[in-house]
Amino acid sequence: MNEKPPLLKLEAIRKHFGAIEALKGIDMEINSGEVVALLGDNGAGKSTLVKIVSGDLRPTAGRIVMEGEEHDFASPAEAKAAGIETVYQDLSLCTNADVVANFFMGREITKRFLGIPILQEREMEAVVAQAMADAGTQIPSLRTNVEYLSGGQRQAIELNRFVHWGGKLVLLDEPFAALGVEQTRRGLETVRQVASRGIGVVVITHIMAQAFQVADRIIVIRHGVVAGNVRPEETTSDQVIDMITGGSLSGAGKGRG
Amino acid sequence: MTPARRATIEFLLDNLVWLMLIVVLIVFSLAVPRFFQFGIFANIVEQSTFVGVMAIGLAIVIISGNLDLSVESTAALSAMVTGLLFATQGIGLGLTLEPSWLMLPVSLLLAMIVGAIIGFINGFFVVRVGMAAFIVTLASFIWVRGLVVAVSGGRSAQSLAPSIRIIGTADILGIPLLAWISIGFFVLFSVLMAKTPFGRYVTLVGGNREATYRAGIDSDRILWASFIIAGLLAGVAGWLLAIRTSGATANLGAGMLFNAFAAVVIGGISLKGGIGKLPGVYAGVLLLYSIHTAINLMGLPAHYTQMILGGLVLAAVLLDTLKLRLRERLL
């Protein structure tokens, strides 16, 4: 059979921090155009996994295969070059710079004069204005330093940034943590839109409803291993909670069981 | 508040130091006898050159989130190398080149290389080894000055070759060449910082290094380059100082570090990194030397200058804090 290799394939990814084993052999696949929700309790290893795929951390062992090609990312720059975009939980914005500078961080539009690259501010501002308008994000001035913007506005910049730059695979680490109800709804819509462009999306969340709402597949991580890999229509949130907690909590809480 | 009005206030806050400079110049012109003369203003700009060129490099390092205490000693070393090689008296070796105009670029190049080497060493320990910039550059401040004393044996070199000295004596349109040089350096580096990706990255790295790393910017290279630029510019400052004094002494430039720091802080560069613009630093240097000049003209003893400058630095930092609060309330 001549089947297309998955967009991203993780094989037996392990990560030690000294004596602590954060990941004990993760295997998973993500396909193009697919939204995967990564669920897990605090400390289950979700963020570590994202950092490995995004090139921020190097795995102790295991293989990262992207479109059939093995990669060993030494830095986020290399992962980015391979087409992986990441939105981190603790936002990656420089608050001392304006919206445009943050949006284009590391990919500025320049024109050479006498061999010296000169920033094309007006061109960049136009691109950002368009991207913000497309996403329905309202920011008073794109020349405002990010430090004067609200948490929701900051997160919107990050989200619009990945939508604009796209790549092949997008990792979102708790992307909606600081967003209001309406903004979250729009954010989830954005995720679907991005996926419909054939980009693979991994959303880390611990809000069950969001996972069921947006994901094509739910992968649960528990104690550094994959504890479940299910399609939302084939499961219930109680079953997923069982996977996350190891069955200890499914009967707990008001109005359950 | 309307966007236009906010923009106006932003602009004023960003350029407060220029406003202060203008006010101070007007006050001095009215209050200090013989201050309001073309010659005095030209002299202020000329005097600002040495600390000014040095302050550019210092400001870039501080914007990138680090600190460089070694610039003064680096300037002294470059001055001593220039004096040692091209001065004819004292410990000067009286090196001559044919044709003689060649001595000018060669001595400048040597001074820049000496400075860049010190900057490279600082960068190595801070960026590669991961030591605190404060300690690394404090050590450089001490050992580089020690090196100056060692190579000179504590003696001085005098009488620089006339073909080099021309830099310190020539003028264009009645304004000393030295003044043009400092203006030129500020224009050049202001453009570098405001209009090129390198300048943008220096600011971003100073704001949030982790974010720039994640965005794929080689933050180590930016930080290292900042140290090298600071060393290089300190080298140029030392070269200019040697030309101005027609030689070099072992303690040449002592005290420049404070002035450079004062100019940087008054110019609106935050020591936290990531904040500030180079034109402001130039205004800071000019403000500093306007005050120096006024005190000289009034015939006050020199120690008053120190008291006033110390107070000014304190006021500048205070102003910075106030500006921040004001901005928070406005936006």
CB contact under 8 A, B328 and A144: no
Of B207, B218, B331, the CB nearest to A96: B207
Chain B residues touching residue A112 (CB < 8 angstroms): none
Q: How confident is the model at residue B171 (pLDDT cuts 50, 70, 90)?
A: confident
If one counts the domains in chain B, the total is 1
CB contact under 8 A, B216 and A77: yes
Q: How confident is the model at residue A192 (pLDDT cuts 50, 70, 90)?
A: confident
CB contact under 8 A, B218 and A140: no
d(CA A235, CA A230) in angstroms, rounded, equals 7
Sign of CA dihedral A59, A64, A70, A72: negative
Query: Is B231 inside a domain boundary?
Result: yes
Chain A residues touching residue B274 (CB < 8 angstroms): 94, 96-97
Query: Is B79 inside a domain boundary?
Result: yes
Chain B residues touching residue A86 (CB < 8 angstroms): 214
Asked if pLDDT for residue A250 goes beyond 70, the answer is: no
CB contact under 8 A, B213 and A75: yes
Sequence-distant (≥ 6) Cβ neighbours of residue A30 within 8 angstroms: A6, A7, A8, A9, A36, A169, A200, A202
Query: Is B134 inside a domain boundary?
Result: yes
CB contact under 8 A, B214 and A92: yes
pLDDT in tens, A51-92: 899 888 899 988 999 888 888 888 888 888 888 888 876 668
pLDDT in tens, B274-328: 888 999 999 999 999 998 888 888 888 877 877 887 888 888 788 777 877 877 7
ipTM exceeds 0.90: no
- pLDDT value at residue B10: 76
Sequence ranges of the domains in chain A: 8-94+151-245
Sign of CA dihedral A66, A68, A72, A78: negative
- The rounded mean pLDDT for chain A is 83
Chain A residues touching residue B212 (CB < 8 angstroms): 94, 105-106
For A74, nearest residue in chain B (alpha carbons): B216
Q: Which residue has the higher pLDDT, B295 or B64?
A: B64
Asked if pLDDT for residue A178 goes beyond 70, the answer is: no
- The rounded mean pLDDT for chain B is 89
Q: How confident is the model at residue A3 (pLDDT cuts 50, 70, 90)?
A: low
Cβ count near A105 (within 10 Å): 23
User: Whole domain around residue B134: which residue ranges?
Assistant: 50-256
* SS3 track for chain B: CCHHHHHHHHHHHHCHHHHHHHHHHHHHHHHCCCCCCHHHHHHHHHHHHHHHHHHHHHHHHHHCCCCCCCHHHHHHHHHHHHHHHHEEEECCCCCCCCCHHHHHHHHHHHHHHHHHHHHHHHHHHHHHCCCCHHHHHHHHHHHHHHHHHHHHCCCCEEEECHHHHHHHHCEECCEEHHHHHHHHHHHHHHHHHHHCHHHHHHHHHHHCHHHHHHCCCCHHHHHHHHHHHHHHHHHHHHHHHHHHHCEECCCCCCCHHHHHHHHHHHCCCCCCCCCCCHHHHHHHHHHHHHHHHHHHHHCCCHHHHHHHHHHHHHHHHHHHHHHHHHHHHHC
Of A101, A141, A148, the CB nearest to B204: A101
Query: Is B112 inside a domain boundary?
Result: yes
pLDDT in tens, B184-216: 999 999 999 999 999 999 999 999 998 898 888
Exposed, middle or buried by CB within 10 Å (0-12, 13-18, 19+), for A90? exposed
- pLDDT value at residue B69: 95
Q: How confident is the model at residue B136 (pLDDT cuts 50, 70, 90)?
A: very high
Question: CATH homologous superfamily of domain A8-94+151-245?
Answer: P-loop containing nucleotide triphosphate hydrolases (3.40.50.300)
Maximum C-alpha span of chain B:
67
Query: Is B140 inside a domain boundary?
Result: yes
Q: Does B221 touch chain A (CB under 8 A)?
A: no
Asked if pLDDT for residue A133 goes beyond 70, the answer is: yes
